[in-house]
A = this chain, B = another copy of it.
Amino acid sequence: MSIYIDPAVAASLRGFEMPEKLGFGTVMAPVMFRAVCQDGCWSQGELVPYAPLALDPAAKVLHYAQSCFEGMKAYRTQAGGVSLFRPERNAARMAHSAARLCMPPVPEALFMDGVRTVTAYCANLVPATSGESLYLRPFLFGTQADLSVSASTSYEFYVIASPSEAYHAGNMRLWVEREDSRAALGGTGDAKVGGNYAASLRSVARLKERGYDQSLWLNPGNRNTVDELSGMNFFAVINGELHTPALSGSILEGVTRDSLIDLARDMGYTVHERAIDIDELLGQVAEGSCDEAFACGTAAIVSPISLFGDGGREYPLAKAPGPVAERLRQMLLDIQEGRAEDKFGWMHPVEVVSID
């Protein structure tokens, strides 16, 4: 299906001024992509100026959190072009998230149209500094005005974009969360849906008071093995080998996690996907066989962990930032920013549309 480009888009883009300070997810690109779905039928996709949405006060999303989203980035490459990283994985994950909440999937072609069109028109907004990028946020939510607890009959899909710095800079201090959960066993942890993030806020508020940066979530079934962080997956380096939690049903399957597993193996590391017992891991940190740990995600890329706090004790990592995290981060960015060969076929170049 063709995409409708609102004639006002050009003026919006021309009038946009890039602020000095970007931050993460606060500066919004002046255009957005949208499509609506009524009773299972999708409208044409449109690129329109960024503007407030009109939502009925009884819309399902406001009451019953029927919403899911994705996070991905457009990178400026060495050669001057703009590329997306494995966008088909985000399209597939969004379909999975939608199904968990009884929402219609956004068709892969429509999803790709959305992220490609926004990227193509916003190419001038992709920052050129390594580690910075145009963060893309596709999202889908139920709009039917009806207060009964049931799936919406109508939906809206948007792609908005934000020129951004990388999400985390420093070495992260993690708090082992033994009480709160972000998602249930048999819940929505393996889907990228709003409720998981809402449930995580209290833990983060509490740990910040104690001087920590992020919660380390445990499996809600056994409360003993590591799941992930609120917006990143987890890796530990134990005796020089990489260990990451196997997908447990309550872990979001990160595109970065998956890519790092391939990349690390290709670089000669042994990588284990397994259930990681938290007490065993903390013991290994204390005794030194685990000397490095890091988190990864689209927003955070690869972010080193400096210590674990658990109850009254702290477990500092010997190497923070550690050499494995540094090498992986650099190799991943080299591929994403076009300095290294794209041997896995991950990069998806976008043809730029020039305005004026």
Contacts and interface: CB of A to CB of B under 8 A. Distances in A.
A183 B194 contact: no
B184 A183 contact: yes
Nearest to A144: B26
Copies in the complex: 2
A187 interface: yes
A202 interface: yes
A200 interface: yes
A117 interface: no
Contact of A193 (B65, B66, B145, B181): B65
Interface string A179-201: 11111111110000111111111
A68 B145 CA distance: 17
B197 A188 contact: no
Contacts of A336: none
Nearest to A137: B147
Interface stretch (A50-58, A84-92, A281-289, A314-322): A50-58
Interface residues of A, number: 66
A62 to B, nearest CB: 6
B63 A197 contact: yes
A21 to B, nearest CB: 14
Contact of A185 (B101, B149, B204, B220): B220
Given A67-B65, A184-B185, A58 B160 contact: yes
19 contacts: A25-B146, A26-B146, A26-B147, A52-B55, A53-B55, A54-B54, A58-B160, A61-B61, A61-B194, A62-B194, A63-B139, A65-B195, A102-B202, A149-B230, A149-B231, A151-B205, A181-B187, A184-B220, A220-B220
